[in-house]
Amino acid sequence: MIDVMYFAWVRERIGEPRERVETDAATVADLVEELKAREPRYEAAFADLSALRVALDQELSDFDAPLAGVREVAFFPPMTGG
């Protein structure tokens, strides 16, 4: 089980801020494919991965990073702080 979080327009497209996901995905990209296969709202959110960023356990990471041992995955658009 893994906590998956969504922020900004990713959260809006998916319709919820976080969920618990049962998965054996080896990498972030594998997890994304599993989610996209579920429902159109995931397809809409993950249509263009180049417009997205991912954090693993609150550290910025990459879509090809392994998920082993990760408890929290977050997807969001590029940050616009400051």
Partner 1 sequence: MPTIRVQSAPFSLGEESEGFAAGRTETGAVVTFTGLVRDTGGISRMEIEHYPGMTEKAIGDIVDEAMGRWTLDDALVIHRHGTLVPGDRIMMVATAARHRAAAFEAAEYLMDYLKSRAPFWKKEYGPDGAEWVAAKDEDEDALSRW
Q: Cα–Cα distance between 60 and 38 in angstroms, integer?
A: 25
Amino acid 67 reads L
Instruction: Write the binding mask 18 to 57 for partner 1: x where contact by CB under 8 A, - elsewhere.
Output: -------------------------------------x--
Return the H-helix or E-strand segment holding 26.
Answer: none
Least distance between partner 1 and beta carbon 15 (Å): 15
Q: Cα–Cα distance between 54 and 73 in angstroms, integer?
A: 7
Q: Pick the closer one to partner 1 by CB: 37 or 47.
A: 47
Least distance between partner 1 and beta carbon 73 (Å): 12
